[in-house]
Amino acid sequence: MKMMMKRTVTGWLILLGYVCLAQEEEVLGSVVNIYTELKELRSLVGELSTKLHTAEADLKEQRAMVDKLNKEREGVFAAPVRGVYYFRFSGNGFAGHDMGLSIFKDDQRMMSVYEYQSSGEQNDHASNGVTLQLEKGEVVYMRLWINTWVFIDGRYDYCSFSGFLLFPM
């Protein structure tokens, strides 16, 4: 009888164990290996960090391109390399008005051209050029003098500003 009772108690304990395991699976769901999950999470964070870094680099490159295009549109030349450059600039004076143009390297006037308009004269044209040694990033641009005029009609470009690299240094 003791033996029978032992078997019955053992049976009940085994059955109780199965019931507890079943309930544990329902409560906890599937068993999770925290070490594996953390490794996967670390990997995902690394990928996202790389993508973010790439996106930031792309954004910086796009901003630099926009800045460069704005400078080009505004008539400002930024030297891409250290070297000696040749620049030419010209303007068409408006009849009856003086015209003065200067070319600047950074904030320093390097060369100018001036056309005095006496009464009765027609439009006049003046140009000049200069050779400059520039460091990478230095800027060159043209300015109209105070109280002077250039002829603009919207169809043609009567004023010009151009340049090219003679040789890198």
For residue 51, give Cα distances in angstroms to 34, 54, 64.
Answer: 26, 5, 20
Tell me the CATH number for domain 78-168. Answer: 2.60.120.40
Report the range out of 29-33, 95-99, 163-167 with the highest average pLDDT. Answer: 163-167
Report the range out of 21-25, 64-68, 87-91, 131-135 with the highest average pLDDT. Answer: 131-135
**What pLDDT, on the 0 to 100 scale, is given for residue 108?**
92
pLDDT, tens only, 69-102? 555 556 788 888 999 999 998 888 777 778 888 8
Higher-pLDDT residue of 38 and 21 is 38
Nearest Cα to 80, choosing from 133, 130, 134?
A: 134
The single residue listed with the structure tokens 């108690």 is 9
Rounded to whole angstroms, the Cα distance separating 87 from 166 reads 10
For residue 102, give Cα distances in angstroms to 1, 26, 65, 108, 120.
Answer: 119, 84, 27, 10, 25
Higher-pLDDT residue of 13 and 125 is 125
For the chain, the domains span: 38-74, 78-168
CA geometry: angle at 62 spanning 57 and 65, to 5°? 130
Mean pLDDT, the chain, as a whole number? 76
**What pLDDT, on the 0 to 100 scale, is given for residue 143?**
86
Mean pLDDT computed over 33-58: 80
With contact defined as beta carbons under 8 Å apart, do 107 and 140 qualify?
no
- How many Cβ atoms sit within 10 Å of the Cβ of residue 130? 16
